[in-house]
Structure 1
């Protein structure tokens, strides 16, 4: 069957069950923000400082989880890591659901942050390695669609139970727990990545003619692997500055710079989600085709225009709504989705999740550091803030358009390992 034939049903099963890491990631971040800053704050007497520490710690331990989980995924297998990480995620949500005493919240956010960081790198690698040629990008992009689904589910549930206080908060965390347990049970039906198994066997049999040449962590910092690692880290970090600013401080910018209300901004944010969801489905159809670069260029242009409007004309209701909607559409064709695809295409098998964890952690730490000064800069000189975000986005676009396409693919650096059972190497 040709590479353009539909992928087998098993490929979709792997992609959905592994890609649910993105659903649980988005669901945890949105739910934590809503519940800890709202439903729990009043009942448990959480002050602004405590809420900030809880959410900040969750972001930082996400980076730590990505680093550790990424390396463990290359050493011990994708399946083992995403199984253990989901167990940790479930345990963390139980603690957040209980909520009292307050110290349980601190342990809970650490557990959930570590879990989602570790799960994402291993899950994406399994999706890529178990998908047939011609469909790998599509299956990886599916995780971005599921990520939007996690946001919609959390915000939709909040609209119903968000005003129920402690009970409402517990229901929102219970939603994450139920989904995590169901996904965990279903993940036990998945096998280990055949490509990873073959690569480990090759490393253990150095006399094999198909021996894997890239497996040691030090090779990440030497040619030729260092070039895609630096490109991926630089792209994700520079693009993510804009995305994380909008995600973390969108409400603050709206209320502080335009005088709008919180509920008003929440409704506007919901308008962009269906646009991003539908655009993601469109991109799934083209990401494995030669036209991908044109779609990437188009999406990047939309984001540049989005940030250029408040930089050139000032931050008002029109320009901030434009940022919200244009970036929501543009990000479907570039940004995190393309970073995920490239992180699978450019790095050899036994360094793949290590590199993904490293670059993800780097981008999240850069965003966390930038966040410390964002509110102050927004109030003192909003034009400078938007010019900086426009500049970082332009750097990301240049990396994606002119550097990444020149990098060799992983299969050009070494043959894709095959143990003779990897039917995912060609469509069935």
Structure 2
């Protein structure tokens, strides 16, 4: 068996799908979505095609090592997202060829389902309450929401009152809540806000500071007992290593479409397990990214919860991740839990005709840009 073709497809609202076909007609799908940078990742596939057309697709670890190390320059979101999408597609192809789910080839199943959470939005407590009730009606028992708009370097505790009210509105609707700071809050204010939120019993605070500020994260970790989550902007086991060693993270959130794919994230999770750190994969993306996450959840003991981009909200711009999946029930939560896919490969069947039709428009999605009242740039 040899790799005969590697195709990429831009799929709205902001996804990049990968299709690998062997010379004997076997097909595997993966997702290399990197929000706002689809063209850059697509360009990275030129080198991957030159390198791996004609290569045995079953030698997944060898392909990964050559792709990562063979180009001399390595790492970073673009190259690792391209590698992730290729690697996922190889697991899908190999699993279908052998009649096995990827999780079966990675050690076998440790669970039957995984708890899931969905994002909610809203600026006011009543908006948050309604959004939380909507997720509850879908069967979820946990949600994630933004903590706040970007806070300045200095301020007063009055700025935190609205944050607390918004969290309490979701909790009053029966939800466990994770709060995403998005690295928006400068360290002096982040320390105060983390302390104010501690009595609320959050699932986690995510990116209370950006991961390029580990010394500040150390201060927050020493200040509060609320679990600290981060990792969507880290792209390999080497990126995660210093955070484990520093003891500043309780839950890691690698993105399987950014951090090198399924096996690399399995290795990251094994490192986390040695430090008693949980895993909650980042996934505001499409169906192939989510299916890959479920393969990881199936065979990884310290995966605790899974993000899912379900339904119409800002993450998908009105496009449901199920639009391109034939067997939609495989990625549909039941009572707040996602089932582990049983079918070979990634466990889902992609509607190839719909993907090819969507690719004709070739989306040009870009991250929105916000500014503060004084006109300065605000974090995402």
Say yes or no: TM over 0.5.
no
Q: Which has the higher contact order (CA 8 A, sep 6+)?
A: 1
**Greater fraction helix:** 1
TM-score using structure 2 length: 0.27
**Greater fraction strand:** 2
TM-score using structure 1 length: 0.25
